[in-house]
Amino acid sequence: MISVLLVVAFASLTAVLAQVRVPLWFTPVPFTGQTFAVLASGLVLGWRRGAASQVLYVAAGAVGLPVFQGANGGWAYVTGPTLGYLIGFVAAALVAGFVARKALFRGAGLVGALAGTVTVYVFGVAWLEHALGVGLQEAVALGMVPFLVGDAIKATLAGLLPVH
């Protein structure tokens, strides 16, 4: 029962932090706080429950609950330019939790959080390239470069959390 509550809590935290956003005029991808929650879910809950929390988050949005940035939800939003990032959230929670758990040294949480951040970029940029019909260089310029500093800060903060 506790595991279910924790999964729901971290899905909810992701939804709340998705509303902390700064739209950028030059890209369809806004700067949000939700990646902190994604990384934290994998680190604090472990890779299985962390990934489950993000599956729940994406599923809630897919059925129309207003959990995505800007209180968006629905299938049309899920399948839009941010689909890769949403899939990347599930994978990132899994990767962050798995890497941090397997690393046997101080700072494992930071390594896991950075690995999770890279995972979000891999999925997000790949789908953005496809969705916008642009080349890889432009997709990186739109979907990764503007977020590097903010995501490094969020990964560092998440990396300070206790690792499960």
- pLDDT score for 31: 83
Task: Indicate the average pLDDT of the chain.
Answer: 93
Specify the pTM: 0.93
CB neighbour burial string for 85-120, b if at least 16 within 10 angstroms, e if fewer:
bbbbbbbbbbbbbbbbbebeeeebbbbbbbbbbbbb
* Residues of the chain where predicted confidence (pLDDT) is lower than 70: 104
Question: CATH for 2-159?
Answer: 1.10.1760.20
- pLDDT score for 164: 78
Domain range list for the chain: 2-159
Query: What is d(CA 100, CA 164) in angstroms, rounded to the nearest whole number?
Result: 8
